[in-house]
């Protein structure tokens, strides 16, 4: 995919800039520490990619991450025996929230922007009501090891990220990936060629919810209990996906580029931090990227380019009917 | 073929990066310049601690620092009843007989400090049989709601009104409006009027910030690199903490290599500290304006595989526990939650016609290596504040989430 190329270029430039500022970055532990820090956002961006490429949004993931971390702390409450059951519960809960988002969007026909905005408020309110603003309980070392510890020199979060990347790449290469892209490109045409559009979109939301659960396990492990852990993550994930060249509205873009977008964003934050530029600028930079990327991406194209784009779309993303039935 | 969108995207990203590359040319000078500042000592006007906060008031600063060594009057085992430099006011005008109806306009219960305090206050009310009714409105952190809460409470027939203001300036007119109708007791944050009968507070933010900074100045060798972590700018109670530390650091020979905002977020704190460890190789001390993310800062050193330098936290259980377990070189200045007991005690004194201090300065101890054992109570939840003064109250520790 030619669209995916620029993001890798930008990422490379940023990584070089970080290495110039901080030579330790070139050593394996320094680089792995960076990957470890980027892993939660990368996983969340992968989940957000599914939703965006299918033509929808998921604004609820930030609140969902917060809710999951707070719930984990409350239920585990320092008891090592509760670690694994609670992790299973978190994954189920993430998938369930995704299922509700998907069902409301596709069956009740509420625009996903509103559905997930509502879900974001519901989760934030529920967490506040349940905790009164201050989370209780504690996470165990066993739980935290996924975000904090490692297998030898390699952090667990890096291994989990590798597993997630492999899984999503395989998923996008399988029939599901093709139908999902077709759904986002033209839901009507996809439906006519036999794609069950509501089902495909709902699965995308479920995957996004699952990714939020994994992200919560990593972030909670990295830094411990906090009622602010998920704040702004939904916009970071969307920015990452857009930065990866995935088109809002769906139908175009690669998941690997979306993940590279997450790394780029994290590299940018790291660089700002390394150069001592205040954290207040982070959200401003993010806003500029989001608007600039979308504005420049959707500028009225010259006729020849627009034609080329249509041709591209036809050759690359129109589903092969034999696959679309799957 | 699809060159245009690709270029556009790259252009967008590069445009955002351009300011960064401009900064990069300054970088090599950064550490060198700071080293220079450290050797030149104070008075060179180029300290990395930045300009003094516009919230800084020299007289308040001096008064608070002096109060730290003054002997408080009152029972030594009940610091919430003690006062430093009390200027008693006569309250016979408010004297009443019979049962009392107390009212409380609470700014919020939206953080662990306020939650611990709020539980402690409820327990204090339960201790007094003469309080027949206790009416509470929670403003949920909103100024506008608290303004109407105060108006509502002052029309409810309360015998005394306790106010914990959400913000200082905005709530001042509301408190002024209530003063003629009911005796008002303000605590925690102040208001810009002396119409309340008494204003209750610990010594204050300058003392907090100075306690932590002076500890680092004692513990870290001259020229040592200090990282200062603040929650966010522009909040008076936090600005005072930093501005007192700034004064102390500027006079010292320590090199403050960074002053960063963390939004009180543990992950961000950990990321910022990790970056500083990578960038400077070694950080010799960490100053924090609040303890909520101290453990995250400590973990950043642990995860980087380097020794944890001298650091300050607060009297929160998770930090005290970490301090003991990891044998840290640490200090914990406090903003004691036991101050939530005092307004109830003050209200009863006022209604009985006993005098109260006009400004009730409560002692503000710091937890040191020697007193850590007294304050660290096993079985309390990680976000509990040790200086609750609640250990002898009915329902402790379960009511505060302990085991």
Check A3 against B2: CB less than 8 A apart: yes
User: What SS3 class is residue B9?
Assistant: helix
* Cβ-based contacts of A224 with chain B (< 8 Å): 266, 295-296, 299, 318
* Cβ-based contacts of B15 with chain A (< 8 Å): 292
User: Whose CA is closest to B15, among A289, A277, A130?
Assistant: A289
* pLDDT value of residue A186: 92
Nearest-10 Cα torsion for A22, A26, A32, A37: 30
Q: Give backbone dihedrals phi and psi of A162, rounded to 5 degrees, phi first.
A: -60, -45
Q: How far is CA A77 from the centre of its chain?
A: 28
Check B10 against A308: CB less than 8 A apart: no
Q: Which residue has 């969007």 as its token pair?
A: A105
Q: What domain range includes position A81?
A: 2-324
pLDDT bracket for residue B381 (50, 70, 90): confident
* pLDDT value of residue B200: 96
* Cβ-based contacts of A297 with chain B (< 8 Å): 5, 8-9, 12
Average pLDDT, stretch B364-378?
Answer: 94
Tell me the nearest-neighbour CA distance from A67 into chain B, angstroms. 15
Name which of B5, B16, B267 is nearest A222 (Cβ-Cβ).
Answer: B267
* pLDDT value of residue B281: 85
User: What does the DSSP 8-state code read for residue B310?
Assistant: P
Rounded Cα gap, residues A241 and A52, in angstroms: 8
pLDDT tens figures, A173-206: 999 999 999 999 999 999 999 899 999 999 999 9
Least confident of A164-168, B42-46, B149-153: B42-46
pLDDT bracket for residue A280 (50, 70, 90): low
In percent, the amount of chain B with pLDDT more than 70 equals 88
Tell me the nearest-neighbour CA distance from B193 into chain A, angstroms. 30
* pLDDT value of residue A277: 67
**B 25-84 → A contacts, CB under 8 A:** 27, 30
Rounded Cα gap, residues B153 and B132, in angstroms: 16
User: Whose CA is closest to A65, among A183, A216, A170?
Assistant: A216
Rounded Cα gap, residues A260 and B123, in angstroms: 54
B302 interface with A at CB cutoff 8 Å: no
What secondary structure, in 3-state letters, does chain A show?
CHHHHHHHHHHHHHHHHHHHHCHHHHCHHHHHHHHHHHHHHHHHHHHHHHHHHCCCCCCCHHHHHHHHHHHHHHHHCCCHHHHHHHHHHHHHHHHHHHHHHHHHHHCCCCCHHHHHHHHHHHHHHHHHHHHCCCCCCCCCHHHHHHHHCEECCEEHHHHHHHHHHHHHHHHHHCHHHHHHHHHHHCHHHHHHCCCCHHHHHHHHHHHHHHHHHHHHHHHHHHHCCCCCCCCCHHHHHHHHHHHCCCCCCCCCCCHHHHHHHHHHHHHHHHHHHHCCCCCHHHHHHHHHHHHHHHHHHCCCCCHHHHHHHHHHHHHHHCCCHHHHCC
Is residue B397 reached through a cis peptide bond, with omega within 30 degrees of 0 on the bond before it?
Answer: yes
* pLDDT value of residue A144: 93
**B 381-400 → A contacts, CB under 8 A:** 381-383
Q: Which residue of A has its CA nearest to B305?
A: A29
Name which of A138, A228, A297 is nearest B265 (Cβ-Cβ).
Answer: A228
Q: Which residue of B has its CA nearest to A304?
A: B1
Here the CATH number for the domain that contains residue A30 is 1.10.3470
Beta-carbon contacts of A324 under 8 Å, excluding residues fewer than 6 positions away, are A175, A178, A179, A182, A190, A193, A194, A195
Name which of A13, A275, A305 is nearest B27 (Cβ-Cβ).
Answer: A275
Name which of B4, B9, B275 is nearest A274 (Cβ-Cβ).
Answer: B275
Q: Which secondary-structure segment (H or E) carries B137?
A: strand B131-138
* pLDDT value of residue A283: 77
Q: Give backbone dihedrals phi and psi of A48, rounded to 5 degrees, phi first.
A: -65, -35
Q: What is the DSSP string of B98-136?
A: S-EEEEEEES---SHHHHHHHHHHHHHHHH-TTEEEEEE
Higher pLDDT, A137 or B198: B198
The CA-atom distances, in angstroms, between A19 and each of A15, A38, A263, B300 are 6, 16, 15, 20
* pLDDT value of residue A2: 53
Are the CB atoms for A6 and B10 separated by under 8 Å? Answer: yes
Are the CB atoms for A164 and A49 separated by under 8 Å? Answer: no
* Cβ-based contacts of A271 with chain B (< 8 Å): 20
CB atoms within 10 A of CB B246: 23
DSSP-assigned beta bridge partners for residue A284 = none
Angular region, B104: left φ>0, alpha ψ -120 to 50, beta rest: beta
Tell me the nearest-neighbour CA distance from B275 into chain A, angstroms. 6
Check A225 against B14: CB less than 8 A apart: no
Rounded Cα gap, residues A216 and A214, in angstroms: 5
* pLDDT value of residue B24: 35
Tell me the nearest-neighbour CA distance from A3 into chain B, angstroms. 6
* pLDDT value of residue B31: 35
Least confident of A151-155, B145-149, B156-160, B281-285: A151-155
A35 interface with B at CB cutoff 8 Å: no
Tell me the nearest-neighbour CA distance from B378 into chain A, angstroms. 13
Name which of A224, A273, A297 is nearest B5 (Cβ-Cβ).
Answer: A297
Size of interface A-B (CB pairs under 8 A): 168
| Cα–Cα–Cα angle for A110, A111, A116, rounded to 5 degrees | 90
pLDDT bracket for residue A128 (50, 70, 90): confident
Are the CB atoms for A81 and A244 separated by under 8 Å? Answer: no
- CATH 3.40.50.2300 domain locations along chain B: 44-67+205-334+366-403, 82-204+336-364
Token pair, residue B221, equals: 């060798």
* Cβ-based contacts of A276 with chain B (< 8 Å): 30, 258
CATH superfamily membership of B82-204+336-364: Response regulator (3.40.50.2300)
Q: Quick check: B141 pLDDT over 60?
A: yes
Token pair, residue A202, equals: 């709902």
Q: Which secondary-structure segment (H or E) carries B30?
A: helix B29-40
**B 91-110 → A contacts, CB under 8 A:** 108-110
A12 interface with B at CB cutoff 8 Å: no
A140 interface with B at CB cutoff 8 Å: no
Q: Quick check: A304 pLDDT over 70?
A: no
Rounded Cα gap, residues A142 and B32, in angstroms: 43
pLDDT tens figures, A282-297: 778 888 888 887 777 6
Check A132 against B278: CB less than 8 A apart: no
* Cβ-based contacts of B306 with chain A (< 8 Å): none
Token pair, residue A239, equals: 């920015």
Half-sphere exposure of B231 (CA within 13 A, CB side): 17
User: Whose CA is closest to A257, among B1, B275, B5, B20?
Assistant: B5
The CA-atom distances, in angstroms, between A152 and each of A31, A143, A155, A206 are 15, 17, 8, 33
Least confident of A137-151, B90-104, B118-132: A137-151
**Count of domains forming chain A:** 1
Name which of B12, B269, B271 is nearest A292 (Cβ-Cβ).
Answer: B12
Name which of B112, B266, B279 is nearest A224 (Cβ-Cβ).
Answer: B266
Name which of A2, A134, A275 is nearest B115 (Cβ-Cβ).
Answer: A134
The number of residues making up chain A comes to 326
Token pair, residue B283, equals: 């950080």
The number of residues making up chain B comes to 403
Q: Quick check: A311 pLDDT over 60?
A: no
B157 interface with A at CB cutoff 8 Å: no
Average pLDDT, stretch B182-203?
Answer: 94
Are the CB atoms for B285 and B245 separated by under 8 Å? Answer: no
* pLDDT value of residue B224: 96
Nearest-10 Cα torsion for A104, A109, A113, A116: 0
Q: Quick check: B329 pLDDT over 80?
A: yes
User: What does the DSSP 8-state code read for residue B195?
Assistant: -
* pLDDT value of residue B26: 35
Are the CB atoms for B135 and B158 separated by under 8 Å? Answer: yes
Check A231 against B265: CB less than 8 A apart: yes
Nearest-10 Cα torsion for B350, B117, B236, B58: 60
**B 163-222 → A contacts, CB under 8 A:** none
Q: Quick check: B50 pLDDT over 50?
A: yes
**B 1-20 → A contacts, CB under 8 A:** 1-17, 20
Token pair, residue A40, equals: 């939660």
Q: Which CATH number fits domain B44-67+205-334+366-403: 1.10.240.10, 3.40.50.2300, 3.20.20.80, 3.40.50.300?
A: 3.40.50.2300
């Amino acid at each position: 995919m030619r669209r995916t190329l620029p993001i890798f270029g930008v990422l490379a430039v940023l990584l070089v800039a970080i290495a110039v500022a901080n030579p330790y970055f070139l050593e394996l532990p320094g680089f792995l520490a960076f990957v470890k820090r980027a892993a939660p956002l990368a996983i969340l961006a992968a989940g957000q990619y599914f939703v965006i490429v299918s033509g929808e949004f998921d604004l609820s993931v930030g609140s969902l991450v917060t809710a999951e971390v707070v719930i984990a702390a409350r239920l585990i409450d320092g008891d090592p025996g509760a670690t694994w059951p609670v992790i299973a519960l978190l994954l189920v809960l993430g998938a369930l929230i995704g299922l509700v988002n998907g069902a409301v969007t596709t069956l009740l026909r509420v625009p996903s922007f509103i559905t997930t905005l509502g879900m974001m408020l519901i989760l934030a309110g529920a967490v506040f009501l349940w905790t009164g603003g201050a989370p209780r309980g504690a996470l165990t070392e066993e739980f935290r090891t996924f975000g904090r510890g490692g297998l030898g020199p390699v952090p667990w979060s890096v291994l989990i990220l590798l597993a997630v990347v492999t899984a999503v790449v395989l998923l996008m290469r399988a029939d599901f990936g093709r139908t999902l892209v077709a759904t986002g490109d033209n839901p009507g045409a996809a439906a006519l060629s036999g794609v069950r559009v509501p089902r495909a979109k709902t699965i995308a939301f479920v995957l996004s919810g699952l990714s939020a659960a994994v992200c919560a396990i990593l972030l909670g492990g990295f830094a411990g209990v906090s009622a602010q852990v998920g704040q702004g993550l939904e916009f970071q994930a969307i920015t990452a996906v857009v930065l990866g060249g995935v088109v809002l509205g769906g139908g175009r873009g690669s998941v690997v580029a979306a993940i590279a977008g997450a790394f780029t964003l994290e590299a940018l934050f790291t660089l700002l931090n390394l150069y001592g530029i205040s954290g207040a600028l982070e959200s401003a930079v993010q806003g500029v990227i989001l608007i600039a990327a979308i504005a420049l991406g959707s500028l009225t194209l010259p006729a020849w380019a627009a034609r080329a784009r249509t041709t591209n779309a036809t050759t690359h993303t129109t589903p092969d009917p034999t696959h679309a039935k799957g | 073929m699809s060159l245009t969108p690709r270029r556009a995207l790259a252009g967008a990203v590069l445009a955002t990066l351009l300011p960064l590359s401009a900064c990069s040319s300054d970088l090599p000078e950064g550490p060198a310049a700071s080293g220079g500042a450290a050797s030149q000592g104070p008075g060179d006007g180029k300290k990395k601690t930045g300009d003094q906060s516009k919230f800084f008031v020299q007289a308040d600063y001096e008064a608070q620092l002096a109060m730290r060594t003054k002997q408080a009057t009152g029972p030594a085992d009940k610091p919430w009843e003690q006062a430093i430099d009390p200027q008693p006011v006569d309250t016979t005008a408010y004297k009443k007989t019979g049962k009392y109806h107390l009212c409380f306009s609470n700014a919020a219960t939206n953080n662990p400090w306020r939650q611990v305090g709020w539980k402690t206050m409820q327990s204090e009310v339960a201790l007094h049989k003469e309080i027949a009714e206790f009416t509470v409105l929670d403003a949920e952190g909103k100024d506008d709601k608290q303004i109407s809460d105060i108006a509502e409470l002052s029309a409810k027939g309360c015998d005394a009104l306790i106010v914990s203001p959400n913000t200082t300036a905005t709530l001042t007119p509301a408190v002024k409006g209530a003063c003629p109708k009911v005796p008002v007791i303000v605590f925690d944050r102040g208001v810009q009027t002396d119409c309340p009968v008494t204003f209750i507070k610990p010594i204050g933010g300058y003392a907090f910030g100075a306690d932590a900074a002076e500890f680092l100045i004692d513990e870290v060798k001259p020229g040592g690199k200090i990282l200062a972590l603040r929650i966010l700018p522009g909040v008076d109670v936090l600005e005072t903490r930093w501005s007192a530390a700034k004064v102390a650091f500027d006079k010292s020979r320590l090199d403050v290599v960074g002053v960063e905002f963390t939004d009180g977020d543990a992950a961000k704190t950990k990321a910022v500290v990790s970056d500083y460890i990578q960038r400077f190789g070694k950080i010799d001390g960490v100053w924090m304006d609040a303890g909520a993310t101290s453990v995250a800062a400590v973990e950043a050193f642990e995860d980087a595989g380097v020794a944890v330098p001298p650091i300050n936290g607060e009297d929160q259980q998770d930090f005290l526990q970490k301090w003991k377990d990891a044998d840290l070189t640490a200090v914990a200045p406090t903003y004691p939650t036991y101050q939530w007991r005092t307004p109830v005690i003050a209200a009863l004194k006022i209604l009985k016609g006993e005098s109260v201090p006009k400004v009730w300065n409560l002692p503000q101890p710091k937890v040191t290596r020697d007193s850590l054992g007294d304050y660290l109570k096993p079985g309390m939840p990680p976000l509990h504040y040790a200086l609750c003064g609640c250990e002898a109250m009915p329902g402790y520790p379960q009511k505060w989430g302990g085991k």
